[in-house]
Structure 1
């Protein structure tokens, strides 16, 4: 049974589901920062997924990165799977702009998070509704 890590639950807002992954929005309005979490039980490393799920994770990650780059006008996309704090396998997909508060440094630990307002989250959801394909299901959260 898939369960989201409590830290991810605390720090993110649910957006919806791809066929394999749950899409989350990091609750930090300084960056359009998204997280993909495969809905698999007790997986902490990429190699623990079956070959088909590995392929699907990479497809969903690259599709999301390309979509976000176009939708949010990124100068650079940062894509990473670290898991040093949260061991549950997850992919960070972060829109970076030369004007963001941490540029060009990594976003981790640079600035305290600034939570999104309800209106800002609604605007992000609206942008994503126009950009994501039929194999994505939005959840209200």
Structure 2
């Protein structure tokens, strides 16, 4: 169990397979998607059985908004991107998770969505570590 993880919470196996843990924020575990085409972070609220934002308590909703905004600012600082895309779809993985993605004109799929565009391109360990360190530094 990750430090700070709530009893009874279990990360969906698909989210775990597609991403790496980055850090604990408070309400959410921050993860990085292992796809080097886009700097792509994901916040997963540590609440068992929650599928939608409106399933959360008002206090958790406020904390989620704060953490999403903090991560979006940090990702923009860390990457210098032109645009941040934020979304919670949940059509395939029902467990609530929020995507925060750095986008630039000319990136794969621009200006369309990242979902369903081509094949995932995993990071090298060194590149993944480097982006994680930039994001951590921008969060401080």
Please state which band the TM-score falls in when normalised by the shorter chain: over 0.9
Q: Contact conserved, 2:50 with 2:95, CA < 8 A, in 1?
A: yes
Q: Deviation above 3 Å: which 4+ runs of structure 1? A: none
Q: Where does structure 1 lack aligned partners over 5 or more consecutive residues?
A: 134-141
- Give the alignment's TM-score, normalised by structure 1: 0.91
Q: Which residue of 1 aligns with 2:136?
A: 129
Q: Which residue of 2 aligns with 1:118?
A: 125
Q: Which residue of 2 aligns with 1:96?
A: 103
CA distance in 2, matches of 1:46, 1:129: 25
**Cα offset, 1:129, TM superposition:** 2.7
Q: Which residue of 2 aligns with 1:36?
A: 43
CA distance in 2, matches of 1:2, 1:17: 14
The one of the two structures with greater contact order (alpha-carbon pairs below 8 A, sep at least 6) is 1
CA distance in 1, matches of 2:100, 2:132: 16
CA distance in 2, matches of 1:126, 1:9: 20
Superposition CA RMSD, Å = 0.8
Q: Deviations over 1:28-77 (max 9, x none)?
A: 00000111000111100111111100000000001111111121011111
Query: Are 1:107 and 2:114 counterparts?
Result: yes
CA distance in 2, matches of 1:129, 1:83: 26
Query: SS of the counterpart of 1:57?
Result: helix
CA distance in 2, matches of 1:128, 1:95: 12
Q: Which residue of 2 aligns with 1:46?
A: 53
Q: Which residue of 2 aligns with 1:137?
A: none
CA distance in 2, matches of 1:36, 1:77: 14
CA distance in 2, matches of 1:130, 1:15: 12
Number of matched residues?
133
Q: Deviations over 1:91-120 (max 9, x none)?
A: 000000113111111000111000011001
- Give the alignment's TM-score, normalised by structure 2: 0.92
